[in-house]
């Protein structure tokens, strides 16, 4: 780090270092209060009745350590990664994870050690200000030499940073274990979402078949039965019944095609993803431009990936037409090294909310089921952008 070259710069850096040490000392005093909470948690856990306090105390300890990590990161410019086991599940599982997590003992070690050096460094820095104001005021301010005392305050802040980094930085093995635990947690959530989405899709198909196709087939069967009964006595009625039966059969076929499109749109098989998206754009009621960055060239993505992308675009354009007030929209499809990327952007009023029943939650579940990611940016006043990445092998 470049050394200060003027008194103003020296004072500025010493001031920032002092604030760093002051915040560290404040956190050290807070840790003193936390020791009382820790003792209460130990006693409550020993008598079993207060066992539920233990995970909450560990979460509070993590927040304190996280505050120190952010403070050190702002000073040094280097982030200290967190590596914790997620405290999820039943009470017994949460207690077991909190006790077995190496991060708990790492944070406790930092808590007790930081209480000492967090205050000690500030106590050392305070007299340096008095001495530095006199010595460097003459040496640097009047004679134009490099400051010799006030820069020591910055070194104290750097010392605090090095010690905190050494105490809070997780080992490589702990990082791997935490990443694996986080990954398992994410997969558990996405699996639950995929199961819920699959169940909802099955209920929709069952409802469509029961209320639509089945009802029309029953009506068709009744008309055919009536036509057979009056076949010898009333040919004119038979012709009318057969005409009605033909209409019912055509309507049943239309209902079946609608159900099939909800499972896997045939247009994807016939035209591919780009062609199917262009067909959606043409029928959306908006002025939609479709940009293709290599998706139509070369091998196609797996059928599940294409179907997910198709339904995301269809839902996004439907939302834009119904709720955004937009007249124009853009759909971008791109072939990436790790999979398919798509972006749907409309120039509407924005403010899209996943909890508002706009279909965004269903889109996110469909994407998450394929281990993909979805990002929605919709500030008030617009525009709304929905970006999706679906991993696949081309």
Q: pLDDT by residue (tens digit) across 110-136? A: 988 988 888 888 888 888 877 877 777
pLDDT reading at 301 higher than 80: yes
Residue 390 near residue 301 (C-beta atoms within 8 A): yes
Confidence label for 331 from pLDDT (cuts 50, 70 and 90): very high
Residue 110 near residue 68 (C-beta atoms within 8 A): yes
Q: pLDDT by residue (tens digit) across 70-97? A: 988 888 888 888 888 888 888 888 888 8
SS3 for 391?
strand
pLDDT at position 143 is: 63
Q: pLDDT by residue (tens digit) across 36-81? A: 888 888 777 777 666 788 888 889 999 989 989 998 888 888 888 8
pLDDT reading at 4 higher than 50: no
Q: H-helix or E-strand containing 3?
A: none
Q: Taken in order 306, 309, 312, 314, is the CA torsion positive or negative?
A: negative
pLDDT at position 332 is: 93
pLDDT at position 388 is: 93
Q: pLDDT by residue (tens digit) across 134-162? A: 777 666 665 667 776 778 888 888 888 99
Q: What percent of the chain has pLDDT over 90?
A: 8
Q: pLDDT by residue (tens digit) across 343-367? A: 999 988 888 777 655 578 878 888 8
pLDDT reading at 187 higher than 80: no
Report the Cα 129 to chain-centroid distance in Å. Answer: 46
Bridge pairing between strands 328-335 and 287-293: parallel
The residue with greater pLDDT, 290 or 188, is 290
Residue 332 near residue 293 (C-beta atoms within 8 A): yes
H helical segments located in 264-359: 266-282, 303-319
Report the Cα 95 to chain-centroid distance in Å. Answer: 26
pLDDT reading at 378 higher than 50: yes
pLDDT at position 293 is: 87
Q: pLDDT by residue (tens digit) across 243-271? A: 888 887 877 777 776 666 666 677 888 88
Average pLDDT, rounded, for the chain = 80
Bridge pairing between strands 384-391 and 373-377: antiparallel
pLDDT at position 45 is: 75
H helical segments located in 149-171: 151-168
pLDDT at position 343 is: 93
Q: pLDDT by residue (tens digit) across 189-218? A: 666 665 666 666 667 667 767 677 777 777
SS3 for 145?
coil
Rounded to an integer, the average pLDDT of 161-182 is: 79
3-state helix, strand, coil in the chain (%, to 5): 70, 10, 20
Residue 298 near residue 335 (C-beta atoms within 8 A): yes
């Amino acid at each position: 780090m470049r050394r200060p070259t003027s008194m103003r710069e020296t004072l500025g850096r010493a001031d920032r270092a002092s604030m760093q040490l002051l915040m560290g000392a404040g956190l050290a005093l807070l840790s003193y209060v936390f020791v009382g909470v820790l003792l209460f948690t130990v006693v409550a856990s020993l008598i079993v009745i207060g066992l539920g306090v233990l995970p909450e105390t560990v979460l509070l300890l993590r927040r304190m350590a996280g505050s120190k990590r952010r403070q050190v990161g702002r000073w040094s410019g280097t982030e200290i990664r967190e590596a914790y086991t997620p405290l999820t599940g039943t009470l017994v599982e949460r207690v077991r994870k909190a006790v077995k997590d190496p991060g708990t003992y790492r944070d406790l070690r930092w808590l007790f050690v930081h209480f000492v050096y967090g205050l000690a460094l500030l106590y050392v820095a305070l007299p340096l200000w008095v001495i530095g104001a006199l010595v460097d005021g003459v040496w640097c301010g009047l004679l134009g030499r490099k400051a010799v005392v006030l820069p020591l305050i910055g070194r104290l802040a750097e010392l605090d940073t090095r010690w905190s980094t050494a105490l809070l930085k997780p080992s490589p093995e702990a990082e791997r274990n935490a990443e694996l635990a986080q990954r398992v947690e994410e997969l558990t959530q996405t699996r639950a979402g995929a199961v819920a989405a699959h169940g909802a899709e099955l209920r929709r198909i069952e409802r469509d078949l029961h209320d639509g196709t089945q009802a029309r087939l029953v009506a068709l069967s009744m008309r055919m039965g009536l036509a057979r009964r009056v076949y010898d006595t009333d040919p004119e009625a038979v012709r009318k019944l057969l005409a009605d039966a033909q209409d019912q059969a055509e309507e049943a076929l239309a209902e079946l095609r609608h159900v099939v499109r909800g499972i896997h749109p045939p247009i994807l098989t016939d035209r591919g993803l780009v062609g199917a998206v262009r067909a959606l754009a043409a029928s959306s009621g908006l002025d939609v431009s479709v940009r293709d960055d290599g998706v139509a060239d070369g091998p196609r993505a797996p059928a599940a990936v294409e179907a997910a992308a198709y339904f995301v675009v269809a839902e996004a354009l439907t939302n834009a037409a119904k709720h955004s007030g937009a007249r124009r929209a853009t759909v971008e499809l791109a072939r990436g090294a790790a999979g398919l990327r798509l972006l749907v952007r409309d120039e509407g009023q924005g403010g899209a909310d996943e909890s508002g029943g706009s279909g965004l939650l269903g889109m996110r579940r469909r994407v998450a089921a394929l281990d993909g990611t979805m990002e929605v940016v919709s500030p008030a006043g617009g525009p709304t952008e929905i970006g999706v990445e679906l991993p696949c092998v081309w």
